[in-house]
Amino acid sequence: MKKSHIQLSQTERDELEQLVAKDGLSVRVVKRALALLALDRGETMTSVAIHQQVTNNTVTAWRKKYLEAGLKGIHDEPRSGRPVRIDGLQRAKITALACSEAPAGHGQWTLRLLADKIVELDYCERISHTQVAQILKKTK
């Protein structure tokens, strides 16, 4: 099979090696970095695919992305999706409210009562009682 080498500069090679040595980096980025280093050493696409436990097409895509974007190509691009409506600070306020004493006339907080109070206190524009339940469930 034809070898598809790439030529990394010494700076790029050093940067990739430092990236691989870092803790807390996503496995996908590490695999891409290792694949580029292996291609730079002259390994074939097939052998890189076998070592990284991916398909040849995946290695080809990583190589193509590197050739187009350089080392920035090994990182994931931002993904689209619905923006977060209730951020961490709001979640903390909701949890603190749920842990506080129930209003007069009530023995304990209900989810609907919490949802109404959250909107009243202007923690967020609107929230359903089921969302409150999900938030509280995640905080245990």
3-state helix, strand, coil in the chain (%, to 5): 60, 0, 40
pLDDT at 4: 63
pTM of the model: 0.58
CB–CB of 27/51 below 8 Å? no
pLDDT tens digits, one per residue of 16-59: 888 888 888 888 999 999 999 999 998 999 999 999 999 999 99
What is the distance of C-alpha 109 from the center of its chain? 34
Contacts 24+ apart (CB under 8 A), 111-117: none
